[in-house]
Amino acid sequence: MTESMFKFDRQFSAEDAKITHRELSFSGFFQIETLTLQHALFNGGEIHPIKRELFVRGAATCMLPYDPEADKVVLCEQFRVGALGGKASPWLLELVAGINDHGESPEQVARREAEEEAGLQVEKFAMICEYYPSPGGSNEWITLLCGKVDSQGAEGIYGLQHEGEDIRVHVLDREDAFALLAAGKINNAAGIIGLQWLQMNYAELQEKWS
């Protein structure tokens, strides 16, 4: 593969946007802030002051559990309120995931959530990517990892009752997980990105982790 010669330079930085007023509009399990702001325009000058509601979620970590010895993937099935009222079932097939507590590294979050949500111990990590899942209205920042696990005996019901969790864990052959992805049965961003990454990298992982 030849290296691309294209170079991308952003025209603006964070200094080219300014918040003139911030108001807490809602505070519950999450928060919503109403921001008044201005930012630079590509053709010069500044946009007139605009208001935007910001869903404050902060940082979270998602991890795709992969067993290179058995060549299996572990997925979590659970109810998601954001999918209620959509065309498909609101019970989604997802990766292990959790909100980062203050001072926690993504790897610490992944280890904690892997044990709570799927009874898994993580041996090693591989970085997949970091991204904003919905930057048009939320500040959530996702770190997406792949974790080496032993999937034997992982199937079952997990989750913390006091956090309202009810999680059914599935252990699938890697190719079966890819088939679910191709059929549109995995319809959340972290799951799609993680499994597409695994499609490109599983041979290297098997060599490194086996």
CATH of the domain at 170: 3.90.79.10
Per-residue pLDDT band at 2 (split at 50, 70, 90): low
CA distance 173 to 72: 4
CA distance 185 to 33: 34
Kindly report, residue by residue over 172-188, the tens digit of the pLDDT. Answer: 999 999 999 999 999 99
Q: Which residues pair with 143 in a beta bridge?
A: 61, 130
- What pLDDT was estimated at residue 36? 98
Any domain includes 144: yes
**29 in the same domain as 76:** no
Kindly report, residue by residue over 116-137, the tens digit of the pLDDT. Answer: 999 999 999 999 999 999 999 9
- What pLDDT was estimated at residue 3? 66
The mean pLDDT of 84-111, rounded to a whole number, is: 95
**43 in the same domain as 67:** no
**35 in the same domain as 116:** no
**142 in the same domain as 191:** yes
Inform me whether the pLDDT recorded for 113 exceeds 70. yes
Q: Residues with catalytic annotation? A: 163
Look up the domain containing 24 and give its range: 14-56
**Residue 115 near residue 121 (C-beta atoms within 8 A):** yes
The letter for the amino acid at 203 is A
Any domain includes 8: no
Look up the pTM and report it. 0.91
- What pLDDT was estimated at residue 29? 87
